[in-house]
Amino acid sequence: MKTRTNCSPQEEETRPSRCPDNSAFKQQKLPAWKPRLTLASVLSSFFLIGAFCLTVGICLILSANSVREIQIDYTDECSDCSKLRENSSNWNKECHCSINFTLKEDMLGDVFMYYGLQNFYQNHRRYVISRSDAQLLGRKVNIQKSYCAPFTTYRNGTPMAPCGAIANSMFNVPLLKTGNAWWTDKNVKFRNPKSYNLSSAFAGKYGTARPPYWWKPVYLLDEDDERNNGYVNDDLIIWMRVSAFATFRNLYRRVSRIRQFAKGLPAGNYTFHISYNFPVTKFRGRKRVILSTVVWSGGRNPFLGIAYVVTGAAATLTGFIITAIHLKLRVKKTYFQKQ
């Protein structure tokens, strides 16, 4: 069955509305490139892609394995603090615990400190939406109409700042405090209320109070640096970007490379002094601190390298299978021609 693309003059007179315009586009006369796939081009493509992916994957895996990393789990050592903080009425009672560890080898270069959580589902729907973006932009809003419930106001009607479950569960564990958050978050998504000082903005104009699991208000998160205080605090900004998985890590600090730490973190005995705020024992969660170096490809995460190796191996294997099929068919063709 043939398809007609042009209309005769008689058809144009009787059915002008059903006839396409006499143009190269509508008459399908545009120039086109129709590649002819040959055996050589197909096989070379598969083998080149395979070689490239295998090379990149092996480099990424070797690079990730060269990262120095140490993880310190302090969930059990700080269990007493966790039990104390489970009662929100103990918000004004500080609880501290200490974790000792030994670094057997030097960690040369830039050393980053992460905090890690396990079995903490930040991707839960109600947790993800439990925030007020308008409030985090420094605007005066009625948080009762937001998704922050039940972390909106206290019984006396005082609104929480910042409100919501995300802010209430913020991690706290000092190192370089700034330069860790994304530029867009720091300069676009978060703003402090306009006032001559933060204490009057939060405590006076808005009459707000800290979330239940915080032991100090938002305008005192960093008393040493006004530019890193309130809603634009790096720790708060990083925590408010929720993770997609139940086990995750967030960047918390960077080791300042001065004096004896100029080359990195030297080997020796260290102690973490932790101010414990948010309990995780009720949902069988775990907390840990990670010290890690980085390389050109990032931290210790071999997933991307493994993905490249698998892709490269699959492309190379496909190339060999196509070659074997071609040789087998060619032998059969030669045999029948001789017959």
According to the model, what pLDDT value does residue 316 have?
95
DSSP 187: I
The whole-number pLDDT of residue 339 equals: 57
Burial class (CB in 10 A: 0-12, 13-18, 19+), 9: exposed
- The answer on pLDDT for 67 being more than 60 is yes
What's the pLDDT at 24? Answer: 82
Taken in order 43, 48, 49, 54, is the CA torsion positive or negative?
positive
Q: How much is the pLDDT for 3?
A: 47
Q: How many other β-carbons are positioned within 10 Å of the β-carbon of residue 23?
A: 9
Nearest to 306 by CA among 63, 42, 133: 63
124-171 per-position pLDDT tens digit: 888 888 898 888 888 888 887 788 888 888 888 888 888 888 888 776
* CA–CA separation, 112 and 22 (whole Å): 67
Residue pLDDT, tens place only, 251-309: 888 888 888 888 888 888 888 888 888 888 888 889 999 999 888 888 888 889 999 99
Strand partners, 72: 289
Provide the mean pLDDT of the chain.
82
According to DSSP, the residues that pair with 107 across neighbouring strands are 265
| Beta-carbon count within 10 A of 134 CB | 13
**pLDDT value at residue 91:** 66
Does residue 94 carry a pLDDT above 60?
yes
Cα separation of 184 and 182, whole Å?
A: 5
SS3 content of the chain, % helix, strand, coil (to 5): 40, 15, 45
Mean pLDDT check: name the lowest of 20-24, 103-107, 108-112. Answer: 20-24
Q: What is the pLDDT of residue 161?
A: 86
Instruction: Give the confidence band of 337 by pLDDT, cuts at 50, 70, 90.
Output: low
Kindly list the domain boundaries of the chain, sorted by start residue.
41-67+296-333, 69-88+101-119+254-294, 124-242
Cα 337 to Cα 339: distance, rounded to the nearest angstrom? 5
* 9 has a pLDDT exceeding 80: no
The reported pLDDT for the residue numbered 51 is: 95
Q: Which position has the higher pLDDT, 50 or 23?
A: 50
pLDDT band at 19 (very low <50, low <70, confident <90, very high): confident
The model's pLDDT over 166-205, given as tens digits with 9 standing for 90+, comes to 888 776 554 667 777 878 888 888 888 877 677 777 775 4
Q: Quote the tokens at residue 314.
A: 């699959």
Query: How high is the pLDDT of residue 174?
Result: 40
| Residue 100 buriedness (CB in 10 A; 0-12 / 13-18 / 19+) | exposed
Looking at residue 16, its pLDDT comes to 55
Angle, helix 39-65 to helix 303-338, in steps of 10 degrees = 160
pLDDT band at 1 (very low <50, low <70, confident <90, very high): very low
The predicted-structure confidence for 199-238, as pLDDT tens digits, reads as follows 777 775 457 778 877 878 888 888 777 788 888 888 888 8
Contacts (Cβ under 8 Å, ≥6 apart) of 309: 53, 54, 57, 58, 61
What pLDDT is stored for residue 196 in this prediction?
A: 64
Instruction: Specify whether the CB–CB gap between 251 and 94 falls below 8 A.
Output: no
- Say whether pLDDT at 330 is over 80: no
Per-residue pLDDT at 305: 92
